[in-house]
Structure 1
């Protein structure tokens, strides 16, 4: 049994391919189909000739003459295409497998119809014939959870990134869940600044993710070359970053691993447009969430303290990224990982160094607010977008001071009574 079939078996807890329902609206209401077409197949020992079948993002279904809905949950199903030579002509089709001994063959009207079904099924199920679809060009990256290759679609010649993961490395349930999580979340998200997952394949030894190929490297490599960006460049980048975070959080998802390495640049020269990547540690919002996930130096203090946390942990991590882009250095510099974590936990950020002197008072105010160690006082991504440093990025400092809805009684947006910061604000 494959890894995906094993997971499906646990979810489905059944031994039959199709399910029936006398109340079809329960499964079809609010779930618009993404494809419909004529398929031929056996059902209840009866040959269904050119049966109209519909496909949604979660189910394949058709209606019996009696009004009963026949449906199948296709998440994590394996899809294998085939062709057969017959005296009457060639036959084309695909097989859906729930488990090794629970599968169904479907025949399409022609090869073009097969290509259409496979194209849509690849967005919601797991494919198996990767060698028929892609050829590897070269290795472009490697890490703990697999190797990334540049590959090319055999038919269209378009280039993609192929992330190959050894299945033997997924024996640990924690790592296996991370892969399933990444797949499920990327399939749910659709945003111009989030890397796109096109297809997932399972082979004998590997699981392969076909991802959008971004050839211009990550933000870490970019900043190492440029040292630091202008404040205007960082303002525009920050707005884009918090817009995508607001989108992710609106879907009930926390990224939990925001860092320079996971921001892929979409231009060789521009510094504001990017694709957010690596959702392996992402999770859904849970009021009891306490697991310690993230990268040292970027983690919100509440995670390190073992407290429950929310989407605001992403706001903190984004603040670290922006601090680095503005100053060219991390706020938690140390010689060892352990010392970085200790500084990260204490969260005492110094703004008195020479690298911070060029920051405007509004940028300083902005950083103070989003890097507060207390999540109660830290804004959400949506609230951050209303900060004057971002909202009025085209205005001068004097215009900001007079027009900002966050300045009152001489207090900056980031000043919160009772909190102690190792900083010195501009007068």
Structure 2
């Protein structure tokens, strides 16, 4: 299977996005003459691989001993040389976290406070780099929530933009599930409540994430009381949330900033196993795609297995558009009907009938913290299913994505623009070009 790296971004047609792009372009043009020799030098180096924000956040204290090795010290020195001195005067670079087509990300320490952060350095000389940077910035500059990764500050220079971000060191959601040794439905509901709080906030701002998955849900610190953060806004965009707007309601569909919140989204993007049916069917879609992804996440957190999974992309997509999944196998017999109901109400083929973030956070299973559920320890079954899945994935794609910052842990990256044409051909072969047939005959729900 392809392990795509590129992000598919919507056109720059909206006010907030355009303003950021114009700012970057104007700033760059103002310094073009002075930096021409540097530009020629950078062009000779070739492009960098693209990096997702999620992978920027996962540096942990375990990386510290690596810095004692001379080779790693040399690398740190090399990355420091690439950073503008006005940035390094404020932040001490400690280690590389990831790199991408237009970016490199390092773990840093604020020189005055000694507080750790992540800095994402993005190349904005090329139009593509400016688009990626602007798309991310326009979202990150609007968000401030305890369950959403926080942009601390931004340094803008002619060829590069430096985004200083919170550094989440507590690991990914599933890593925490496995490492705990004891995991119940109550633990699952507490984790999902934090994710729902972040997603509800984003949707109320008019932001659709479009790449929710366990790898993008990170704990801020290793402690038991850590908050869980929604990260990686490389595919996030404004739009698709017409009924949930920030500020006073307006009859023209705009919020108090004047930004349109009612347009439908159309770009095919995301991580295959988490993509909603309407995205695969190339229909206009809304923020309901995030709720579908949350249904997939809830299924995984409670079982360690995927509701939709197949070696063949065509068969995988066929299962998704038919809503074909089940609650068979361990530990599902021990999982409460209320938890299954929560998942079923998210994995509905018709996006209009799916729970919204506001409704999901008020579902009885979430509100009661699974109080009426079994207190059975699901850890063994979840860990076993995760290990089996990892083993299968390794055998399928042994060299999957060691150098990729944007793909997930099983070698199934985001759908790239190059793959779109291939997937369209596969879709025609599998009948996915007949969306009305899939919608008219939805699955009645999984068998219990």
**Greater RCO (Cα-Cα under 8 Å, separation 6 or more):** 2
Alignment of 1:402-421 (within 5 A): 419-421=442-444
Contact 1:228–1:325 under 8 Å retained in 2: no
- Which residue does 1:385 correspond to in 2? 361
- After superposition, the CA RMSD in angstroms is 3.4
Equivalent-residue separation in structure 2 for 1:101 and 1:166 (angstroms): 15
Contact 2:136–2:234 under 8 Å retained in 1: yes
Is the partner of 1:161 in helix, strand or coil? strand
Contact 2:323–2:442 under 8 Å retained in 1: no
Alpha-carbon distance change, 101 to 322 in structure 1, aligned in 2, over 3 angstroms: closer
Contact 1:256–1:293 under 8 Å retained in 2: yes
Alignment of 1:48-197 (within 5 A): 99-100=29-30, 129-143=86-100, 146-167=103-124, 170-172=126-128, 176-197=130-151
- Which residue does 1:320 correspond to in 2? 296
Is the partner of 1:148 in helix, strand or coil? strand
Contact 1:138–1:151 under 8 Å retained in 2: yes
Alpha-carbon distance change, 182 to 334 in structure 1, aligned in 2, over 3 angstroms: same
Q: Does 1:329 align with 2:283?
A: no
Q: Does 1:307 align with 2:283?
A: yes
Equivalent-residue separation in structure 2 for 1:100 and 1:392 (angstroms): 57
Segments of 5+ residues of structure 1 without an aligned counterpart are 1-9, 13-56, 58-72, 79-95, 103-126, 399-416
Contact 2:123–2:130 under 8 Å retained in 1: no
1:49-85, CA deviations, whole angstroms, 9 ceiling, x for partnerless residues? Answer: xxxxxxxx9xxxxxxxxxxxxxxx999758xxxxxxx
Is the partner of 2:89 in helix, strand or coil? helix
- Which residue does 1:60 correspond to in 2? none
- Farther-moved stretch of structure 1 (275-284 vs 385-394): 385-394
Equivalent-residue separation in structure 2 for 1:421 and 1:226 (angstroms): 35
- Which residue does 1:253 correspond to in 2? 207
Is the partner of 1:319 in helix, strand or coil? helix
Equivalent-residue separation in structure 1 for 2:104 and 2:314 (angstroms): 27
Equivalent-residue separation in structure 1 for 2:351 and 2:318 (angstroms): 18
Contact 2:276–2:289 under 8 Å retained in 1: yes
Give the TM-score of the pair, scaled to structure 2: 0.58
Aligned residues: 295
Alpha-carbon distance change, 207 to 325 in structure 1, aligned in 2, over 3 angstroms: same
Equivalent-residue separation in structure 1 for 2:308 and 2:179 (angstroms): 21
Alpha-carbon distance change, 269 to 332 in structure 1, aligned in 2, over 3 angstroms: farther
Contact 1:298–1:317 under 8 Å retained in 2: yes
Alpha-carbon distance change, 316 to 144 in structure 1, aligned in 2, over 3 angstroms: farther
Give the TM-score of the pair, scaled to structure 1: 0.61
Contact 1:351–1:422 under 8 Å retained in 2: no
- Which residue does 1:32 correspond to in 2? none
Is the partner of 2:331 in helix, strand or coil? helix
Equivalent-residue separation in structure 2 for 1:75 and 1:158 (angstroms): 31
More strand by share: 1
Contact 2:211–2:236 under 8 Å retained in 1: yes
Name which one, 1 or 2, has greater alpha-carbon Rg.
1
Is the partner of 2:334 in helix, strand or coil? coil
Is the partner of 1:354 in helix, strand or coil? coil
Is the partner of 2:272 in helix, strand or coil? coil
Alignment of 1:268-307 (within 5 A): 268-270=222-224, 273-285=227-239, 286-307=262-283
Query: What is the deviation of 1:334?
Result: 1.9
More helix by share: 2
Query: What is the deviation of 1:101?
Result: 7.6
Equivalent-residue separation in structure 1 for 2:183 and 2:314 (angstroms): 29
Segments of 5+ residues of structure 2 without an aligned counterpart are 1-12, 33-83, 240-261, 375-439
Equivalent-residue separation in structure 2 for 1:11 and 1:380 (angstroms): 24
Query: What is the deviation of 1:338?
Result: 4.9
Equivalent-residue separation in structure 2 for 1:74 and 1:204 (angstroms): 14
